[in-house]
C-alpha cells in the first residue's frame, strides 16, 4: 500500500485512541484490547476461503461530493 496520503502519526494516534474509547463505551471494556500504536508487528496469516475485502475511502468521499 501507498501511505503518502495517510494521516500524520500524531493525528492518527489520536483518532485511534478515540476509536478505542468509542468501542469501550459501547462494549464491555474488558473485551477491548489494543497494542502499541505505530510499532512494528510480526503477523502470520492463514487464508481459509475465497474472501477478499477491498476498502477504498476515496470512492466514498467522491460519492458524498456528488450529492
C-alpha cell of 21?
Answer: 474509547
Does 45 reside within a domain? yes
- Per the document, the length of the chain is 67
What would the 3-class secondary structure string for 6-37 be? Answer: CCCHHHHHHHHHHHHHHHHHHCCHHHCCCCCC
What domain count does the chain have?
A: 1
Does 4 reside within a domain? no
Q: What is the pLDDT of residue 44?
A: 87
Q: What is the pLDDT of residue 35?
A: 85
Contact between residue 20 and residue 33 where contact means Cβ atoms under 8 Å apart: no
> pTM of the predicted model, to two decimals?
0.54
Does 17 reside within a domain? yes
Q: What is the pLDDT of residue 13?
A: 93
Per-residue pLDDT of the chain (67 residues; tens, 9 = 90+): 677 888 898 999 999 999 999 999 999 989 999 888 888 888 888 878 887 777 777 666 556 666 6
Residues of the domain holding 61: 9-66
Q: What is the pLDDT of residue 5?
A: 84
Amino acid at each position: 500500500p501507498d501511505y503518502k496520503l495517510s494521516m500524520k502519526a500524531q493525528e492518527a494516534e489520536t483518532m485511534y485512541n478515540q476509536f478505542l474509547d468509542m468501542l469501550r463505551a459501547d462494549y464491555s471494556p474488558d473485551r477491548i484490547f489494543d497494542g502499541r500504536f505505530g510499532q512494528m508487528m510480526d503477523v502470520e496469516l492463514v487464508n481459509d476461503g475465497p474472501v477478499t475485502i477491498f476498502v477504498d475511502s476515496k470512492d466514498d468521499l467522491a460519492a458524498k461530493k456528488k450529492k
